[in-house]
Structure 1
Amino acid sequence: MGTSASARGGELKRHLGVFDAVVIGLGSMIGAGIFAALAPAAAAAGSALLPALAAAAVVAYCNATSSARLAARYPQSGGTYVYGRERLGPFWGYLAGWGFVVGKTASCAAMALTVGSYVWPAQAHAVAVAAVVALTAVNYVGVQKSAWLTRGIVTVVLAVLAAVVTACLTGDATDTARLAIGADATPGGVLQAAGLLFFAFAGYARIATLGEEVRDPERTIPRAIPLALGITLIVYAAAGVAVLVVLGPDRLAHATAPLAEAVRAAGVPGLAPVVRAGAAVAAIGSLLALILGVSRTILAMARDRHLPHALAAVHPRFQVPHRAELAVGAVVAILAATGDVRGAIGFSSFGVLAYYAVANVSAWTLTPAEGRPARIVPVVGAAGCVVLAFALPLASVLSGAAVIAAGAAAYGLRKGAART
Structure 2
Amino acid sequence: MVRRLGVRDAVVVGMSAMIGAGIFSAFAPAAAAGGSGLLIGLGVAALVAYCNATSSARLAALYPTSGGTYVYARHRLGDLWAGQAGWAFIVGKIASCAAMALTLGSYVAPGHVRLVAVLAVAALTVLGWAGVQRSTQLSTVIVVVSLAALLVVVLSAFRGGTADTSNLQPFPGADVGGILQSAGLLFFAFAGYARVATLGEEVRDPVRTIPRAIAIALTVVLVVYVVVGLSALLAIGAPGLAASPAPLQTVVESGSWAAWAPAVRVGAAAASLGALLALLLGVSRTVVAVARDRPRISGLARLHEQSRTPRTAEVAVGVVVVVLVATLDLRGAIGFSSFGVLVYYAIANASALTLRRDEGRPPRVVPLVGLLGCLVLACTLPRAAVAAGLVVVLGAAIEWAVRRRMPASRRPA
- Work out whether the TM-score is over 0.5: yes
Choose which of 32, 45, 50 in structure 2 pairs with 1:56: 45
Question: 1: distance between equivalents of 2:5 and 2:305?
Answer: 22
Residues 30 and 242 in structure 2, CA contact (< 8 A), matched pair in contact too: yes
Change (3 A) 1:309 1:103: same
Question: 1: distance between equivalents of 2:127 and 2:3?
Answer: 16
Counterpart of 2:352 in structure 1 is 363
CA displacement 1:143-180 (0-9 Å, x = unmatched): 86433322211110011101211221233221235445
- In the alignment of these two chains, the number of paired residues is 406
User: Does 2:249 match 1:234?
Assistant: no
User: Does 2:399 match 1:410?
Assistant: yes
Change (3 A) 1:52 1:150: same
User: Does 2:36 match 1:31?
Assistant: no
SS at match of 2:202: coil
User: Does 2:202 match 1:215?
Assistant: yes
- Alignment gaps of 5+ in structure 1: 1-12
Residues 30 and 182 in structure 2, CA contact (< 8 A), matched pair in contact too: yes
Question: 2: distance between equivalents of 1:253 and 1:321?
Answer: 39
Which shifted more, 313-322 or 121-130?
313-322
Change (3 A) 1:306 1:197: farther
User: Does 2:287 match 1:298?
Assistant: yes
Residues 141 and 318 in structure 1, CA contact (< 8 A), matched pair in contact too: yes
Counterpart of 1:189 in structure 2 is 178
Q: TM-score, normalised by structure 1?
A: 0.85
Change (3 A) 1:330 1:74: farther
User: Does 2:250 match 1:272?
Assistant: no
Which shifted more, 365-374 or 186-195?
365-374
Residues 67 and 359 in structure 1, CA contact (< 8 A), matched pair in contact too: yes
Counterpart of 1:96 in structure 2 is 85
- Alignment gaps of 5+ in structure 2: none
Counterpart of 2:95 in structure 1 is 106
Instruction: Note the C-alpha offset of 1:218.
Output: 7.6
SS at match of 2:294: coil
Residues 84 and 93 in structure 1, CA contact (< 8 A), matched pair in contact too: yes
User: Does 2:141 match 1:149?
Assistant: no
Which shifted more, 132-141 or 263-272?
132-141
TM alignment of 1:281-320, pairs within 5 A = 281-305=270-294, 308-312=297-301
CA displacement 1:47-88 (0-9 Å, x = unmatched): 312111111111111111111222222222221111111211
Change (3 A) 1:252 1:331: closer
What residue identity is the alignment partner of 1:279?
A: A
Residues 10 and 203 in structure 2, CA contact (< 8 A), matched pair in contact too: no
Question: 1: distance between equivalents of 2:256 and 2:71?
Answer: 50
CA displacement 1:270-311 (0-9 Å, x = unmatched): 111211221111211221232243234324323433873454
Identity of aligned residues (%): 54
Residues 184 and 377 in structure 2, CA contact (< 8 A), matched pair in contact too: yes
SS at match of 1:308: helix
Instruction: Note the C-alpha offset of 1:235.
Output: 1.5
Question: 2: distance between equivalents of 1:264 and 1:307?
Answer: 52
What residue identity is the alignment partner of 1:167?
A: S
Which shifted more, 313-322 or 92-101?
313-322
Residues 24 and 150 in structure 1, CA contact (< 8 A), matched pair in contact too: no
TM alignment of 1:110-149, pairs within 5 A = 110-136=99-125, 145-149=134-138
Counterpart of 1:378 in structure 2 is 367
Instruction: Note the C-alpha offset of 1:141.
Output: 6.0
Which shifted more, 85-94 or 323-332?
323-332
Q: TM-score, normalised by structure 2?
A: 0.86
Question: 2: distance between equivalents of 1:319 and 1:370?
Answer: 38
Question: 2: distance between equivalents of 1:120 and 1:266?
Answer: 21
Question: 2: distance between equivalents of 1:51 and 1:321?
Answer: 42
Change (3 A) 1:359 1:383: same
Residues 24 and 147 in structure 1, CA contact (< 8 A), matched pair in contact too: no
Instruction: Note the C-alpha offset of 1:94.
Output: 1.1
Change (3 A) 1:399 1:161: same
SS at match of 1:369: helix
Which shifted more, 105-114 or 71-80?
71-80
Question: 1: distance between equivalents of 2:15 and 2:242?
Answer: 25
Counterpart of 1:68 in structure 2 is 57
Residues 30 and 181 in structure 2, CA contact (< 8 A), matched pair in contact too: yes
Which shifted more, 145-154 or 222-231?
222-231
Residues 27 and 282 in structure 1, CA contact (< 8 A), matched pair in contact too: no
Question: 1: distance between equivalents of 2:204 and 2:61?
Answer: 6
